[in-house]
A and B are shown apart, each in its own frame.
Chain A
Amino acid sequence: MGMAAAEWKFHVLAVDDSLVDRKLIERLLQKSSCQVTTVDSGYKALEFLGLRQGIESNDPTALSTSPQEVEVNLIITDYCMPGMTGYDLLKKLKESSVFKNIPVVIMSSENVPARISRCLEEGAEEFFLKPVRLADLNKLKPHMMRTKLKNQKLEEIENGTEAVEPEIKGSEDMGIKILPLQSELEPKQVHLQVVKQEEETLSNNKRKSMEEGLSTDRPLPRLEGGIATAV
């Protein structure tokens, strides 16, 4: 049951040099049913993702010896940080062939239009003004749903099962292939339609469109004995 829970939880990496803000964003994300890891700098974020060597060289294949063990589904970062700013981090991530598809959200206490457009142009999904609120994080839910559905659908196709319940995958071991009944397909199609409508609404907002295709070949995330880990 624990494994199934891990599959469904969205894992967010939050980056902020302020301890107060880290605590706040962690709670906000937990309240939004996300698994959270917090770090206090862009460097630590890259380290966590396994891009340690990538700071010096621009070679995305130069990963550190301990590759990323936990899948990260979204990165939310403060803009103003000493050393590496949130913008610098964003650029590094978008330059990486491995991580460029992870959605990135920028937060800032200052409302500077030029800053906002620069971040969006560089590929940030959203720009939140601080203090960030629960309502802001709800904007991320459509992203999460779409990604989750896509990953789930792709996994089911790979496993040869079209069932909605994850537990049914166990029947693979028995060599039983569960074919979709017509009645089972319909609800899912409706669900996908709803997501599509949400997507269309979203595209009206001032945002860059997200690249399709998050990797689905990742192993199941390993939980490290707690919901949130502060690095």
Chain B
Amino acid sequence: MNTVVAQLQRQFQDYLVSLYQQGFLDNQFTELRKLQDEGTPDFVAEVVSLFFDDCSKLINSMSRSLERPENVDFKQVDSGVHQLKGSSSSVGARRVKNVCISFKECCDVQNREGCLRCLQQVDYEYKMLKTKLQDLFNLEQQIVQAGGAIPQVNIN
């Protein structure tokens, strides 16, 4: 039983480290994990869930604003990008945040094509992250069910 837990913990640690190494997550995600404790075991999962809801909602509305080439509401798009950049930064979603930076630049020069590309990319990135984090949370759950503790992971 001990080895099962140890194995799972190792798996969890390696997976989490890889997410940082591949640039999906940054320090802010570490900060989020620090805020979670026995009293609030679902905190990280809840916050990222809100974040993904945000992504979906904002991407939809920006998509509508960019739909007709002759009538693009760049102000609305800019507002959406600003919000998305803010929340991705708050949860440590590094790749999503970086796309937002390029997205903002396209918006500033009213480049509709560029905006559409960024929109597609941000959609891809948030969905990819969602899958990765789901895998991570599943590992966490397995550890808890096997009676183990979630390891503290130090990222340098």
Q: Nearest Cβ in chain B — how far from A131, in angstroms?
A: 5
Is A18 interfacial (CB 8 A cutoff)?
yes
Is A140 interfacial (CB 8 A cutoff)?
no
Mostly helix, strand, loop or mixed at chain B's interface?
Answer: helix
B35 CB contact (under 8 Å) in A19, A28, A80: A28
Contact A27 B40 (CB under 8 A): yes
Q: Given the complex of chains A and B, what is the CA–CA distance between A19 and B46 in angstroms?
A: 11
B90 CB contact (under 8 Å) in A31, A80, A130, A134: A130
Q: Nearest Cβ in chain B — how far from A35, in angstroms?
A: 15
A23 CB contact (under 8 Å) in B31, B46, B82: B46
Is A112 interfacial (CB 8 A cutoff)?
no
Is B28 interfacial (CB 8 A cutoff)?
yes
Chain A residue nearest to B28 in the complex (CB)? A131
Contact A109 B86 (CB under 8 A): yes
Q: B89 contacts which chain A residues (CB < 8 A)?
A: 109, 130-131
Contact B86 A130 (CB under 8 A): yes
Contact A20 B87 (CB under 8 A): yes
Mostly helix, strand, loop or mixed at chain A's interface?
Answer: helix
Q: Nearest Cβ in chain B — how far from A138, in angstroms?
A: 13
Q: Nearest Cβ in chain B — how far from A36, in angstroms?
A: 13
Q: Nearest Cβ in chain B — how far from A222, in angstroms?
A: 23
Q: A141 contacts which chain B residues (CB < 8 A)?
A: none
Q: A130 contacts which chain B residues (CB < 8 A)?
A: 86, 89-90
Contact A27 B35 (CB under 8 A): yes
Interface residues on B, range: 20 to 34
Contact B87 A31 (CB under 8 A): no
Number of residue pairs spanning A and B whose beta carbons lie under 8 angstroms apart: 47
Chain B residue nearest to A133 in the complex (CB)? B31
Mark B45-59 against chain A: 1 for CB-CB distance below 8 A, else 0: 011001100100000
Q: A28 contacts which chain B residues (CB < 8 A)?
A: 35
Q: B85 contacts which chain A residues (CB < 8 A)?
A: 109
Contact B87 A21 (CB under 8 A): yes
CB-CB under 8 A for A18 and B35, given A23-B50, A131-B28: no
Contact B54 A24 (CB under 8 A): no
Within 8 A of A (CB), among B73-106: 82-83, 85-87, 89-91
Is B68 interfacial (CB 8 A cutoff)?
no
Q: Given the complex of chains A and B, what is the CA–CA distance between A80 and B81 in angstroms?
A: 13
Chain B residue nearest to A28 in the complex (CB)? B35
Q: Nearest Cβ in chain A — how far from B75, in angstroms?
A: 12
Q: Given the complex of chains A and B, what is the CA–CA distance between A109 and B28 in angstroms?
A: 13
Contact B50 A134 (CB under 8 A): no
Q: Given the complex of chains A and B, what is the CA–CA distance between A131 and B83 in angstroms?
A: 13
Q: Given the complex of chains A and B, what is the CA–CA distance between A18 and B82 in angstroms?
A: 11
Is B43 interfacial (CB 8 A cutoff)?
yes
Chain A residue nearest to B86 in the complex (CB)? A109
Q: A18 contacts which chain B residues (CB < 8 A)?
A: 54, 83, 86-87, 90
Contact A20 B47 (CB under 8 A): yes
Given A20-B54, A20-B90, 18 more A-B residue pairs with CB atoms under 8 Å apart are: A18-B90, A19-B50, A20-B50, A20-B51, A20-B86, A21-B87, A21-B90, A23-B50, A24-B47, A24-B91, A27-B43, A27-B47, A109-B86, A109-B89, A130-B86, A130-B90, A131-B31, A134-B35
Nearest 4 A/B pairs, CB to CB: A20-B87, A131-B90, A27-B35, A109-B86
A-B contact pairs, 8 of them (CB 8 A): A18-B83, A20-B87, A24-B91, A109-B85, A109-B89, A131-B89, A133-B31, A134-B31
